[in-house]
Structure 1
């Protein structure tokens, strides 16, 4: 990958049932990483965890530029600062994300449709 092209890191989280056991998938460089021991919670919490774990995966790859892509419009907008975090849970996760991002922030956060989200497709196939 050239230095001018950012790495795309796809993230998705969910739980079965909702609320229930949280699971997250992160896809970077064609590799799928699943995270299962994340406790219980709702879909919103799962999506925030996915974004934070995706950030950590990208940072561990030590690439100069990366984008985080997810299909939860609300979490992407809140993490980007475009939408306010109205709940204490969302504020706590946004603070966690921002603290993690200080070390190596994404070039951008981008909402994509579910059918484009490689992490979401991986979670669906796993079920």
Structure 2
């Protein structure tokens, strides 16, 4: 089984700051991959955009490197988890853009979404902060 921890941020202000994300992918408790990135800066950037982009990046990696495996997505954004689980309605333009896309990418993949408290998501949070800091310093890794 694959477990994905994901997180996103928008700093120094939300909305309109730098949207960055991080994610970790484990198989049966063993780290397979970790990733991070910057979505953009300014208009249209929010925490939610960063969270959804983290999911997209993780799903792309899974499609390429672990197809057909059962996946559990864990995140501390109640909005993203509840919308992706179908428990909450999709109302914002951001959610209307991302939720159908992500659901279509997950077709045929046995998966579920689980909300976790922030203190159980510290590694993904640290990766999103790392991506932000690299961007702020004008560096890439």
TM-score class, shorter: 0.7 to 0.9
Within the alignment, does 1:23 sit opposite 2:20 as a pair? yes
Residues 30-64 of structure 1, C-alpha deviations (whole Å, 9 max, x = no match): 2321112x213011111111122222222222251
Does structure 2 retain, via aligned residues, the 8 Å contact 1:9–1:58?
Answer: no
Other-structure match for 2:74: 69
Q: Give the whole-Å Cα distance in 2 for the aligned partners of 1:93 and 1:125.
A: 24
The root-mean-square deviation of aligned C-alpha atoms, in Å, is: 1.9
| Structure of higher CA gyration radius | 2
Q: Give the whole-Å Cα distance in 2 for the aligned partners of 1:22 and 1:124.
A: 10
Does structure 2 retain, via aligned residues, the 8 Å contact 1:55–1:106?
Answer: no
Change (3 A) 1:79 1:32: same
Does structure 2 retain, via aligned residues, the 8 Å contact 1:12–1:47?
Answer: yes
- Which ranges of structure 1 fall in alignment gaps of 5 or more residues? 1-5
Residue correspondence of structure 1 range 11-90 to structure 2 within 5 A: 11-17=6-12, 18=14, 19-29=16-26, 30=31, 31-36=33-38, 38-40=39-41, 41-63=45-67, 64-90=69-95
Q: Which runs of 4+ in 1 moved over 4 A?
A: 124-127
| Cα deviation, residue 106, structure 1 | 4.7
- Which ranges of structure 2 fall in alignment gaps of 5 or more residues? 134-141
Aligned length: 120
Q: Give the whole-Å Cα distance in 2 for the aligned partners of 1:121 and 1:113.
A: 15
